[in-house]
Structure 1
Amino acid sequence: MKLYGKIIFSFLFMFLSDKLIAQDPELAKIYLEQADQVYAEAKDAIEIAKDIYIQAAEADTMNVRANYMAGVLYLETVNRDYSTKYFERVKRLDPKYRFNIDYLLGRGYQYGLEFEKALKYFLAYKNKVTSDRSYRGRDKTSVYEVNDRIEECQNAKEIIGMPSSYTIENVSENVNSTWPDYAPVLNEDETVMIFTSRRQEGNTNENVDKDNFYFEDIYISKRNGVTWSKAKNIGQNVNTLYHDSNLFLSSDGKTLYIYSDEGNGDIFYCTENENEEWSKPKPLEGRINSQGFAEQSIWVSDDGEFMMFASNRPGGYGGFDIYGCYKEDGQWKRPFNMGPEINTRADEDGPYMAKDGITLYFSSKGHKGFGGFDVFTSTYNDKTEKWNKPENLGYPVNTVDDEVYFHPTADGERGYLASVREEGLGFTDIYMVTHVGNLEKTAKERISKLKERENDFITDEQLEVKRLIDSVLNISAYQVYFEVNSSEIDDSHNEKLIEMANFLKSHQNLGVQISAFASSDGNPKYNYELSNRRAQSVLKFFKENGIEPDRLAARGFGILKGSEDKSRKAEVKILDLSRFEE
């Protein structure tokens, strides 16, 4: 493993220091041979091989195989949308090089949130595969898979166009690293976060696994005020020399449930004593852990009398299903499937029940989503005794990549999850999701409460006609402009935004709609995320200046066509919330 560590260092150095490499077919062949050797000897060392294939493809942009392998390995790692650059070269140089090249291009564009382009290639591939049903090559992707991708793109176009009720931000550099960090679990007051990481720092094992990442270890961080402490290894009582991953933390922060490789995947637990020392993990009692099948997530009620977990045991609706289980007389009884409203023919995972006892969060590959795992929520209907149709949390919480193990807070205002994002520190990072509401849903309740007492209501018509203050027209549609690749609000906008905040404080029936955009520089995925960060910056400004969250809505729309300088903006519009009563 140390040999591959040296290889990746040397090639990453070349890659970073010589991005604009001259065309050299002979050098490309050398790179290609070395990449093949690395990939053949340690297929899991995919990041090393990918970087060398990229070098080969850039040394000779006409080398079809180098471009193909660079694209394939991008699809299997992070920044999957970057694969399109290399697959486009392959298609241009040799359209018949791989039977499913159109499908691969569609996948790359799907990951880049370019759904129209993705659909074009998926439909082209579908026409090809249905017109040549006799083809049996290994590079054939089934029509069932491409139909799933087409449905995901159509879903994504609809979901991404919906008003978002959430904002998302990276938790902290004290928590995240340049290595994969994921599966955050917290105690009820959000002062303790435990998560899994494959980082080098503090790892129990100084060597790497066959994929050239360090083994999974469990880490802990504690919050003081608004600051998370530097994460540290939870200790060798819990972590071993090999893979260890957390699943759930009790509300008091004293019982930690972890995943064990035993029995094909079992749930263990350990407890913390008064000296903040964790006990050795032991298997969960009762019928939870099955023989020969996997259990890979868990949630336990505060009273310890009910749990949910995910398992691929026989008798389910698909792959992994979510199960429930009650405790009676101190013993866990026979688990039961949560039913077809929750589980699908695909995989479900990461169940978490909100404090109200009827709102379930979980991740699914089978419900209406972007692709991969998306986070959904469903509420239990006492009258029908069934779960309501799950709702996708939407963008920016969900992406085309996997979002799983969503951990909502006790008050329901925030949540934590791990995801791959453009602004991340490395691979998978941990993010905090904040619920900002939906004006259509919150406005009616707010206006109803306001009408119970006397208020000076300002209507949309009055905003236009009376021109109540000097810059009321500007206030009703104010433009906040940003620098290139920035989501920081320039000081020149502070005076106007504070004026708007004060105006809102004087008129409690008014709210703010924030719509943010990016220029066409960069790829669509990055621009969607950048526009969302800009929308969140303006929303945060209003919250910090005393405007209640139920009066604010913010959303990033990605690219705005037009003048590049004028496209990097957030449009801030004041509106009358009482209109939503109509």
Structure 2
Amino acid sequence: MLREIYFSAVGLFRRSWLLIVIVMTGMPVMGQDLSFEPNDHQRLQKADILFFNESFSDALKIFEQLYAADTSNRYLRFRIAQCYSYLPQSRDNEVKLFCDALRLPYPNSLSNTYVYKGYMSWLSVDSGILITQKRQNVKPYRFNPKETFDNICISEDSRYLVFVNTTSSKNQIYFLQRIGKQWTNAENITAQIGSMGDCFPSFISKDGKRLYLTKYDGFDSEIYVSTYDGVKWSLMKKLNSNINSSYWDAHACESPDGMILYFASNRPDGYGGMDIYYSIKVDGDWKKATNAGNRINTALDEDYPLLVNNGRTLIFASQGFSKGVNKLDLMYAQFVADFIWSVPKPMGYPFNTSDDDFSYVPLDELARAFLYQDILCMNKKMLRYELYLKTDIAVSSDKAKYIGTKRMVVRNLVDPQDTRSVYIEPGAKYGSVSVFPGLYSIEFKG
């Protein structure tokens, strides 16, 4: 039987089931034999983890198959371009797809294109500088395709990673962190936090100090938190009665400052089914939970909340916006004012399919930034790139020849007031400057 690879990003147990059944975010999980054809959301997740494992050719095949079903999809163009940037002899396709995804003009010539180890950049004296993708140059943790995993949570800054190994029925929880350019070995923290195989992580804070978990007993669920002191994780602690009721409470996430908690519950004061609630932390503890309101919640289920874009975008799964088919679709809403959100919109293909779709969190940091900040917010100003240029290259044109650079001046060709001058330290081989997506001219000064 064909062995497929999947992962999920949050706890995926439904309150209406008495039997614990693993479903996809996701879905089961990586390495599990499947007797059914995966949907496009599941295939997207498989490609995402293959990319994280640096299996770029395999990830590319899936991204291209998905793209064939929607050739206007900017997110898939972006992911394909990312794969191309790691593969040889793909420069023209890479640049074209990045330009299309970011709605930038395609350069007239790629004759002066330079690729440096660890980074990708496009340099054209005639057309200027296009955006550059800063590669993390991080030795990745690789998920073993012979094992199965679920509930993969990655911190916003891509420094902390938690997952459940479901290869056996013990549901072991692992934690790893990135120190410098290296991922640590995955540490089994199941005993540290006090899980008996019935706990599943839903969120890890940006600073890697708080891990939220949902504990299931087959009849209801409760929300716990474990804290990290830099050496080990504490025994998980059940959140207070303002968060945990006598009903089903699950899938907590917190705001970037750690002062607001969003979670799902089917307590009776809601609009029906599972609703999304929030609570504010005062004097170190969570206050009475408040329903997120009928702009977010419907008479059916809303679940799996996640705050992104520094807390200004709320992503969640909902049955109530799927036009009568009663399946979970991924939705997103933008911050309007304190605890007020815009009318939710569907995330669309390939995130939503004809099946239940619970969540999608790209493991790649740049892909997350593009999805959350550009696709969902349509705000390119939020998405930054690093421009890296070698200082001892010689670039010939009709106007100049640059070598032995001491300073580089980068000018935005659309907004001339956006001009940055960067001094190159003596002996440095590279200079860098942070830029927004766009078209730039560059001047080297010796």
CA apart distance, 1:187:
3.5
Taking a change above 3 Å as real, the CA distance of residues 112 and 277 of structure 1, as seen in their structure-2 partners, is: closer
Identify which of 332, 335, 347 aligns with 2:286. 332
Deviates more, 1:394-403 or 1:356-365: 394-403
Cα distance in 1 between the residues matched to 2:275 and 2:309: 22
Identify which of 157, 163, 178 aligns with 2:73. 163
Matches within 5 A, 1:151-550: 163-165=73-75, 167=78, 174-175=142-143, 177-200=145-168, 214-224=169-179, 228-238=183-193, 240-261=195-216, 264-274=220-230, 276-291=231-246, 293-368=247-322, 372-382=327-337, 386-407=340-361, 414-415=367-368, 437=374, 550=437
CA apart distance, 1:289:
0.5
| Percent of residue pairs identical | 28
- Secondary structure, aligned partner of 1:340: coil
Which residue identity does 2:154 align to in structure 1? Answer: L
- Secondary structure, aligned partner of 1:395: coil
Identify which of 80, 88, 108 aligns with 2:36. 80
TM-score, normalised on structure 1?
0.41
Q: Assess if the C-alpha contact under 8 Å between 2:373 and 2:380 holds in 1.
A: no
Which residue identity does 1:319 align to in structure 2? Answer: G
Deviations 1:245-295 (A, max 9, x none): 112222221121211125721111122224x1112112112411011x111
Q: Assess if the C-alpha contact under 8 Å between 2:374 and 2:380 holds in 1.
A: no
Cα distance in 2 between the residues matched to 1:285 and 1:440: 34
Deviations 1:420-475 (A, max 9, x none): xxxxxxxxxxxx985684699568999xxxxxxxxxxxxxxxxxxxxxxxxxxxxx
Cα distance in 1 between the residues matched to 2:238 and 2:203: 14
Taking a change above 3 Å as real, the CA distance of residues 191 and 356 of structure 1, as seen in their structure-2 partners, is: closer
TM-score, normalised on structure 2?
0.51
Deviations 1:84-129 (A, max 9, x none): xxxxxxxxxxxxxxxxxxxxxxxx999999xxxxxxxxxxxxxxxx
Structure (1/2) with the larger helix percentage: 1
Cα distance in 1 between the residues matched to 2:72 and 2:175: 36
What is the RMSD computed on CA atoms of the aligned residues?
A: 5.1
Cα distance in 1 between the residues matched to 2:280 and 2:194: 29
Q: Assess if the C-alpha contact under 8 Å between 1:247 and 1:298 holds in 2.
A: yes
Cα distance in 1 between the residues matched to 2:262 and 2:309: 14
Aligned length: 293
- Secondary structure, aligned partner of 1:237: helix
Which residue identity does 2:249 align to in structure 1? Answer: E
Cα distance in 2 between the residues matched to 1:400 and 1:387: 26
Which residue identity does 2:191 align to in structure 1? Answer: Q
CA apart distance, 1:353:
2.1
- Secondary structure, aligned partner of 1:80: coil
Q: Assess if the C-alpha contact under 8 Å between 2:351 and 2:360 holds in 1.
A: no
Q: Which runs of 5+ in 1 are unaligned?
A: 1-11, 17-42, 47-76, 83-107, 114-158, 201-213, 416-431, 447-504, 510-545, 553-582
Q: Assess if the C-alpha contact under 8 Å between 1:247 and 1:258 holds in 2.
A: yes
Cα distance in 2 between the residues matched to 1:298 and 1:443: 29
Q: Assess if the C-alpha contact under 8 Å between 1:238 and 1:281 holds in 2.
A: yes
Which residue identity does 2:331 align to in structure 1? Answer: F
Deviations 1:279-332 (A, max 9, x none): 2112112411011x1111111234443211111221222321100112334442
Q: Assess if the C-alpha contact under 8 Å between 1:81 and 1:112 holds in 2.
A: no
Q: Assess if the C-alpha contact under 8 Å between 2:373 and 2:379 holds in 1.
A: no
Cα distance in 2 between the residues matched to 1:350 and 1:248: 10
Cα distance in 1 between the residues matched to 2:193 and 2:165: 14
CA apart distance, 1:177:
3.8
Taking a change above 3 Å as real, the CA distance of residues 366 and 278 of structure 1, as seen in their structure-2 partners, is: same
Say which structure, 1 or 2, has more relative contact order (CA 8 Å, 6+ apart).
Answer: 2
Taking a change above 3 Å as real, the CA distance of residues 245 and 160 of structure 1, as seen in their structure-2 partners, is: same
Cα distance in 2 between the residues matched to 1:242 and 1:444: 44
Q: Which runs of 5+ in 2 are unaligned?
A: 4-18, 23-32, 45-68, 84-138, 384-409, 415-432, 440-446
- Secondary structure, aligned partner of 1:379: strand
Cα distance in 1 between the residues matched to 2:334 and 2:40: 34
CA apart distance, 1:358:
3.1
Cα distance in 1 between the residues matched to 2:184 and 2:370: 19
Which residue identity does 1:183 align to in structure 2? Answer: N
1:517 corresponds to = none
Q: Assess if the C-alpha contact under 8 Å between 2:412 and 2:438 holds in 1.
A: no
Matches within 5 A, 1:35-74: none
Which residue identity does 2:221 align to in structure 1? Answer: G
Deviations 1:182-225 (A, max 9, x none): 3232334321111223024xxxxxxxxxxxxx232211232356
Deviations 1:554-576 (A, max 9, x none): xxxxxxxxxxxxxxxxxxxxxxx
Cα distance in 2 between the residues matched to 1:317 and 1:300: 22
Larger radius of gyration: 1
CA apart distance, 1:360:
1.2
Q: Assess if the C-alpha contact under 8 Å between 1:168 and 1:434 holds in 2.
A: no
Taking a change above 3 Å as real, the CA distance of residues 551 and 398 of structure 1, as seen in their structure-2 partners, is: farther
Cα distance in 2 between the residues matched to 1:179 and 1:294: 30
- Secondary structure, aligned partner of 1:389: coil
Taking a change above 3 Å as real, the CA distance of residues 371 and 408 of structure 1, as seen in their structure-2 partners, is: farther
CA apart distance, 1:237:
1.9
Cα distance in 2 between the residues matched to 1:397 and 1:433: 15
Q: Assess if the C-alpha contact under 8 Å between 2:79 and 2:367 holds in 1.
A: no
- Secondary structure, aligned partner of 1:236: helix
CA apart distance, 1:230:
4.7
CA apart distance, 1:233:
1.9
1:153 corresponds to = none
Deviations 1:362-414 (A, max 9, x none): 2223324898433322013239x8421212223334444544344589x9954
- Secondary structure, aligned partner of 2:332: strand
Cα distance in 1 between the residues matched to 2:258 and 2:382: 35
